[in-house]
Amino acid sequence: MDFMISLDNRSPVPLHRQLYEEIRKSILTGRLTAGASLPSTRTLALSLGVSRSTVTQSYDQLISEGYLQTYVGSGTKVSEHLPDDLLQVAPPKTHKLRAEARKTPSPKLSRYGESLADAAPFEPTEPRMPIHFKYGIPALDEFPMDIWRRLLLRHCRADRSRLLDYAETAQGEPGLRAAIVGYLGRSRATRCTADQVIIVNGSQQAIDLVTKVLVDRGDRVALENPGYLGARRSFLAQGARLEPVPVDEQGIIVERLPARSSSQAKLIYVTPSHQFPTGAVLCLPRRLELIAWAADAGAMIVEDDYDSEFRYSSRPIPALQGLDENENVIYAGTFSKILFPSLRVGYLVVPPPLVRIFVRARWLSDRQTPTLEQRVLADFINEGYLERHLRRMRTLYDRRRQTLSRSLKQHFGDRVTILGENAGMHLMARLETGRTDEEVLRRAREAGVGIISARIYYLTDARAGEFVFGYANVSERKIQEGVRRLAKALKKTCLNPENE
Ligand SMILES: Cc1ncc(COP(=O)(O)O)c(C=O)c1O
């Protein structure tokens, strides 16, 4: 393939960045078309006279933004169908920004700002569907709003100066931190005191703080592949070098981590309770291996326990935080999935030596989480409402999950493999349809059904035909109807794509 790429050694823009720009431009202008194969990193490095790591870095960035895909055994290719938002929304904005930057030297973005300007859009542009298997949304209709309202009113009558003034500490309300310690001890076997808990605005802020405090530009961060985009975006924005680690039905494959002695990874980010998106639950032996690896490699583990509360067929496995003896685990939890996402309350549990630094970073970020919500939540936990709500939701989600699993098997038979259904609020289905993922999504959309392709969650070695189905906020009737519509929309193609 003739690339016609020219790199400028004298430019202040790093070579990997220039190469990234050139390839991206070629894709956006259609010089490189969907499905086109790219040269191997070695070949391109040789032909451009640059190091192989320069090419690898540019490829990694383009892969993580969805422009390129790697496939087992067939190298790196331009993504078959670029998501519309990459083609329509981001490029004009980015070009405009860059054009303006060229005209006027200021405002000159920081490297952090630059990486955000270049990133693919964060917010989904998916239209709402009549039946939407959106992941990560709890059953919103079931939230006990009457209880919440009563607790809110109770606290609104409290001393105004303490309620409305800045909080005394950015760490969070002591009452809520104590309630969280009690709750975690009962449900997750963590070992910590309230002094180690820092209240944050959701686990995304937790990940962002961890990144700022622990990761420097160029640092290596290991993460699950496929894995959670919110974490990947944070690490990339900070300029981290990502080290994808494959996942199987038992979670992250610890033995595929770089050798302990040679690893320079500073951080490893994992979702052990319900791997995102495959749903695998990390088994106990691997948890212990991971902890040993981190101790030897001198790396911190970030344990994102986003929907650990929902387990259906086995007892919970203790959190890494409780198993670790070396103060190497930072635990992140959230109320987005057990209560509601717009609450924006989550928490970090950090090893004692790091607390002071994290609280300062928390202060710099946005001072505090609103006091009123923290106090209401503390009562909600202490008065037993949280665990009651959880019990109800576990039963409800279990029914919904079984209905989804049954419907998928009924309509797709041996053309579906279901993964990760024993925990959480979503499952992943491998569908054999004989069509591209984009075609499946388009047909689903036309039938009024929203599902998500798992491809975007892969950093490398993406698999086709994997889809994420969130079920917690979808009624059983809608689940059945959604799967029926999906199967109908794909049926002819599954049986005989030629005869449509
Ligand atoms: C794996 C994972 N971690 C973290 C989050 C972020 O949750 P929060 O709303 O607490 O920021 C999500 C959201 O869906 C998630 O899937």
Best of 229, 247, 274, 306 to mutate for ligand 1, by most ligand atoms within 8 A of CB? 306
The pLDDT confidence band at residue 292, using thresholds 50, 70 and 90, is very high
Distance between CA 69 and CA 81 in Å, rounded?
11
Residues belonging to the chain = 500
Provide mean pLDDT across the span 484-492.
Answer: 91
- 478: Cβ–Cβ under 8 A, 6 or more apart, which residues? 131
Nearest residue by C-alpha to atom 2 in ligand 1: 306
Q: Across the chain, what does the average pLDDT equal?
A: 89
Is 397's C-beta closer than 6 angstroms to any atom of ligand 1? no
> Using a 6 Å cutoff on CB, does residue 276 contact ligand 1?
yes
Q: How many Å lie between the centroid of ligand 1 and the Cα of residue 204?
A: 6
Average pLDDT over residues 156-161: 89
How would DSSP label each residue in 40-59? PHHHHHHHHT--HHHHHHHH
Is residue 462 predicted with pLDDT exceeding 60? yes
Q: Which of 296, 273, 267 is nearest to 354 (CA)?
A: 267
- Which has more confidence, 10 or 136? 136
Q: How many beta carbons lie within 10 A of that of residue 93, not counting itself?
A: 11
Q: What is the model's pTM?
A: 0.81
CA of 381 to the centre of ligand 1 (A): 21
Ligand 1 centroid vs 232 CA: distance in angstroms? Answer: 12
pLDDT digits 0-9 by tens, 15-46: 888 898 888 888 877 778 888 889 988 888 88
Residue to mutate, 134, 207, 334, 377, ligand 1, most ligand atoms under 8 Å from C-beta: 334
SS3 225: strand
Interval between CA 102 and ligand 1 midpoint (Å): 37
DSSP assignment string, 323-388: H-SSS-EEEEEESTTTT-GGG--EEEE--HHHHHHHHHHHHHHHS---HHHHHHHHHHHHTTHHHH
Rounded Cα distance between 327 and 162, Å, is: 34
Q: Print burial letters for 57-80: b (CB count within 10 Å at least 16), e (below 16).
A: bbbbbbbbbbbbbbeeeeebbbbe
Cα–Cα distance measured from residue 460 to residue 439, given in angstroms and rounded to the nearest whole number:
22
Ligand 1 centroid from CA 487, angstroms: 30
Q: Is the pLDDT of residue 143 over 70?
A: yes
pLDDT for 104 equals 45
Q: What is the pLDDT of residue 303?
A: 98
- Position 261 scores a pLDDT of 66
Predicted confidence band at 168 (pLDDT cuts at 50, 70, 90)? very high
**336 in contact with ligand 1, CB cutoff 6 A:** yes
Residue with the two structure tokens 């995304």? 204
- What is the C-alpha to C-alpha distance for residues 90 and 96, in angstroms, rounded to an integer? 10
Q: What is the pLDDT of residues 419-454, one digit of tens each?
A: 999 899 999 999 999 999 999 999 999 999 999 999
Instruction: Decide whether any atom of ligand 1 lies within 6 Å of the 271 Cβ.
Output: yes
Q: What is the pLDDT of residue 1?
A: 54
Task: Quickly list DSSP for 161-177.
Answer: HHHHSPPS-TT--HHHH
User: 441: Cβ–Cβ under 8 A, 6 or more apart, which residues?
Assistant: 451, 453
Q: Position of tokens 């690490």?
A: 235
- In this prediction, residue 85 carries a pLDDT of 52
Cis peptide before 316 (omega within 30 of 0): no
Ligand 1 centroid–CA 246 distance in Å is 20
To the nearest whole percent, how much of the chain has pLDDT over 70? 91
Q: Can you give the pLDDT at residue 286?
A: 97
Contacts of 394 (CB under 8 A, 6+ apart): 309, 310, 311, 312
Structure tokens at 233: 């975006």
18 or 305, greater pLDDT: 305
